[in-house]
Amino acid sequence: MPTETVKGQAFLGEEEVRKVAKLARLELRTDEIVRMTAELSAIVRYVQKLGELDTTDVVPMAHVRLARTVLREDAPRAGLSHDDALAEAPRVAHDGFAVPAFVDD
Amino acid sequence: MESWLVRPISEIAAAVTRGDVSAEEIARASLAAIEHKDPSLGAFLTVSADAALAQARAVDAKRARGEKLGKLAGVPVALKDALCTRGVPTTCGSKILARGARGWHPPYDATVVTRLKEADAVLPGKCNMDEFAMGSSTENSAYFPAKNPWDRSRSPGGSSGGSAVAVAARMTAGALGSDTGGSIRQPAAFTNVVGVKPTYGRVSRFGLVAFASSLDQIGPFAVDVRGAARVLEVIAGHDPSDATSLAEPVGAYEAACGKSPRGIRIGVPEEYFAEGLEAEVSASVRTAIDDLARAGCLIRPIKLPHTAYAVATYYILATAEASSNLARFDGVRFGLRVEPPRGTLADMYGQTRDTGFGDEVKRRIMLGTYVLSAGYYDAYYLKAQRVRTLIRRDFERAFSEVDLIATPTSPVPPFRLGERVKDPLSMYLADVYTLPASLAGLPALSLPCAPTAPREDRPALPVGLQLMAAPLDEERLFTVAAAFEAVSPARSLALPPA
């Protein structure tokens, strides 16, 4: 990547891949970690290509500038019914979505 | 019966409206074609025969009451399985939206689905796709790969491969797909049909399972330009449920198909005819551009100097957005849940996602999480956003000199199943010509031009011509596409082998 922002290396190590998997809430198996490390390194090496470009003073573009969008009127309208919202729930308890007990993890 | 399905959308709708044929007969023909052809093609994940027949009967009843029928009266339109359909399972090509054999049943219809129904279309089923639209071959479907009707050992492209095959094999007259980086245009090119990615914001995404929200756009497939134009007219337009949908009036796309292309300036960027482009594809597209000149278009060389950076830019931005969008698949409210005994909430999230997502989806979530993570955000994500600006500026400059841009849709004809899927980067590079228009939010379409010549190792294969336009200039796109279609040698390839 560009010299002014270089922080990483041109490849990822397994430790780093484990860290990213945790952030992404993916409980990857060991063989997946190994494979993913090699594949992501190849892709990350490829995207370093952007470092060839001088982008000083170029404004970042998060979104296509939309010609004219209109927000809808701020008026109440019916949302999903309680039954519709719960219809696909994997587990329901006390008329709500049931999840395993958790503290803060 | 099947003969109705080889006809273009406008003829089917006219025949149903006149009463030459009932919508039910057409629906039955479509369902029979799916039953007969799809086992060897894999275009459909769900066939909703009962719902389709009920829709068709409702159209016939409406006609019997003397009511005016919609623009798509009785026209069978297949839906990419990324579009929500009330009462019909939606999987997005993923196991995470299935529990056991039962797919997720969305509580509402996508806006485009509602609009198709209002136009009296009939919806026979949900089409195969790369899981969460991540892929360019439909091999990343969690269910089975779709096959190219022109050569079943080859990919129909992706991610909207099933939608393209449904139309190419005449199982339905039209289809909807979604295009984030080429997922409508490339499969259209690979299967010899017309596919349109409208201007970003032209079609509501309400009810489209989100992949990369700054890029996703829904668009039509059809066997002819006019048919695609008609479907776009039906689905386009402002929707209060999608804050990114544009308020601008919808153009007269179908009427634009009959206009003269004389005097329209077409730019040909040298960067799209560079290394990596197969010689036969290049020759076919250059011949098509010569045909456009003969039709009265003015051909000009142009430069789009940042083209080579589009793949890297796209794969940073799209994966970053995907990593955020796909956070909602956590096993709590719908879809798959893997809940280990005595496990914590975090265990449930982690195991549900590891079990439910396929390899490519995990890879992209990982890449997206990485480029957004502390220490890398500026170097990758912000950098890619800056390069996106440079790519957009390339187009702004180009469109100050020309009206449209003509290029190949794909650098290669349909590749073999299995040929690229093991090497993610080679698959990403297949999108090199479609990504720039996505990044710039431009409308673009692919339509058939001359196929490759048959060789010992492969039959004649489809080739797509891509046309791109300035934002909201879909009408000119349709004018030039229809003019080329009238002289295109691709007509000789019109029907795939049975």
**B52: CATH:** 3.90.1300.10
Confirm or reject contact between B107 and chain A (CB < 8 A): yes
Closest CA to A33 of A53, A4, A13: A13
**pLDDT-above-90 percentage for chain B:** 92
**Which residues from chain A sit within 8 angstroms of residue B386, using beta carbons?**
55, 58-61
Query: Which residues of B are the active-site residues?
Result: 80, 159, 183
Do the domain assignments include residue B438? yes
pLDDT digits (tens, 9 = 90+) for B448-480: 999 999 999 999 999 999 999 999 999 999 999
Q: What is the C-alpha separation between B299 and B394, in angstroms, rounded?
A: 18
> In Å, how far is A31's CA from the nearest CA of chain B?
12
Q: Among A20, A42, A73, whose Cβ lies nearest the Cβ of B366?
A: A20
Do the domain assignments include residue B205? yes
Do the domain assignments include residue B101? yes
**Which residues from chain B sit within 8 angstroms of residue A16, using beta carbons?**
370
Sequence-ordered alpha helix ranges (H) in B65-121: 111-118
Average the pLDDT over each of B357-366, B394-403, B415-424 and give the range with the smallest value.
B415-424
The amino acid that residue A78 corresponds to is A
> Residue A103: pLDDT above 90?
no
Helix axes B9-18, B225-235, angle to 10 degrees: 70
Mean pLDDT of chain B: 96
pLDDT of residue A101: 82
> Residue B408: pLDDT above 80?
yes
Query: What's the number of domains chain B is made of?
Result: 1
Beta strands in B380-460 (DSSP E): 404-408, 444-449
**Which residues from chain B sit within 8 angstroms of residue A2, using beta carbons?**
379, 383
DSSP state of B132: G
ipTM, two decimals, is 0.90
The answer to whether the Cβ–Cβ distance between A47 and B343 falls below 8 Å is no
> In Å, how far is A94's CA from the nearest CA of chain B?
14
Please tell me the pTM assigned to this model.
Answer: 0.96
Average pLDDT over residues B260-280: 96
> Residue B115: pLDDT above 90?
yes
The answer to whether the Cβ–Cβ distance between A90 and B334 falls below 8 Å is yes
Q: What is the C-alpha separation between B276 and B204, in angstroms, rounded?
A: 35
CA-nearest residue to A28 within chain B is B354
pLDDT digits (tens, 9 = 90+) for A57-86: 999 998 887 666 678 888 998 889 999 999
Do the domain assignments include residue B318? no
Angle in degrees, CA B234, B236, B242, rounded to 5? 130
Do the domain assignments include residue B368? no
**Which residues from chain A sit within 8 angstroms of residue B392, using beta carbons?**
61, 64
The answer to whether the Cβ–Cβ distance between A58 and B379 falls below 8 Å is no
Average pLDDT over residues A81-98: 94
Average pLDDT over residues A9-38: 91
Q: What is the C-alpha separation between B17 and A36, in angstroms, rounded?
A: 55
Give residue B179's domain range.
Answer: 2-306+392-493
Q: What is the C-alpha separation between B101 and A34, in angstroms, rounded?
A: 31
Residue B402 has phi, psi (to 5 degrees) of: -135, 165
Do the domain assignments include residue B367? no
> In Å, how far is B88's CA from the nearest CA of chain A?
13
The answer to whether the Cβ–Cβ distance between B312 and A46 falls below 8 Å is yes
A55 has which bridge partners?
A: none
Specify whether the CB–CB gap between B382 and B315 falls below 8 A. no
B428-467 residues touching A, CB cutoff 8 A:
428, 440-441
> Residue B441: pLDDT above 60?
yes
pLDDT of residue B249: 95
**Which residues from chain A sit within 8 angstroms of residue B387, using beta carbons?**
50, 53, 55, 58
Beta strands in B298-403 (DSSP E): 298-302
Give the number of beta-carbon pairs within 8 Å between A and B.
Answer: 196
Q: Is B404 helix (H, G, I), strand (E, B) or coil?
A: strand
Specify whether the CB–CB gap between B433 and B388 falls below 8 A. no
Specify whether the CB–CB gap between B75 and B233 falls below 8 A. no
Q: What is the C-alpha separation between B287 and B467, in angstroms, rounded?
A: 14
Q: Among A17, A47, A84, whose Cβ lies nearest the Cβ of B315?
A: A47
Do the domain assignments include residue B363? no
At B371, which helix (H) or strand (E)?
helix B359-372
Q: Give the side-chain half-sphere CA count within 13 A for B137.
A: 27
> In Å, how far is B197's CA from the nearest CA of chain A?
15
pLDDT band at A24 (very low <50, low <70, confident <90, very high): very high
The amino acid that residue B393 corresponds to is R
pLDDT of residue B376: 92
